[in-house]
Copies of this chain bind each other. A is one copy, B any other.
């Protein structure tokens, strides 16, 4: 079975997304994103956008600092399940991560339940007392052997969280991620760099500026682009006339 380093504990949405991609795998749980990146386990699984509880900027910074290759992107819709040993009519208290509670306010207000905050959605499912329910992933219900009363109870259409597989098996490539480090700052520099993508008709799907931490006000850029049938090599040559370029890998998206 494939060994994979990822953020713990088990039963979180990260766990559910990793299972979706790897099927059965041997998890090496870490307590911070940095620990995942620095793990001796070769294959790693990290959140990159819009995760419950953040973590995005850590991932971008660590992609720049370490040598790990992105080999796949996994998109997981975040659907909260209502999980309890107690029947719906006898629930008094609902437990979850503050962001998950915030995303299920309609259901909570409709029933007038009390709210209790937990560190993670996974922890909310452990040690449920009579009269208590949790909002968490379906996998957390399965692991703790607690019934799911209702699926997808969040107020609006689910957020999608994106994850990267690092150092996995190469797959046909539709996307790429690149770090651009100009080493100087002047009006119009980003505009000039982006001319390399526009000129080669490559569409950007994500852009973020992040402090380099070397000097206050010095930034690097993280960009994602669609590269199907595109000439990435020429775009990179163009980018190299403006900045240090670090290619983070070419990969496909798994829905």
Contact = CB atoms under 8 A, between A and B. Distances in A.
A206 B209 contact: yes
What is the count of identical protomers in the complex? 2
A150 B52 CA distance: 34
A146 interface: no
Interface residues of A, number: 47
B187 A198 contact: yes
Nearest to A56: B57
Given A57-B54, A186-B203, A211-B50, A194 B191 contact: yes
Contacts of A55: 54
A183 to B, nearest CB: 15
A103 to B, nearest CB: 9
A224 B35 CA distance: 31
Contacts of A34: 102
B211 A209 contact: no
Contacts of A209: 204-208
Interface string A126-162: 0000000000000000000000000000001101100
Contacts of A114: none
A109 B189 CA distance: 42
Interface in A25-80: 31-32, 34-35, 49-50, 53-58
Nearest to A203: B187
Contacts of A102: 32, 34-35
Contacts of A53: 53-54
A191 to B, nearest CB: 4
Contacts of A197: 187-188, 191
Interface in A215-250: 216-217, 219, 221
A93 interface: no
B186 A191 contact: no
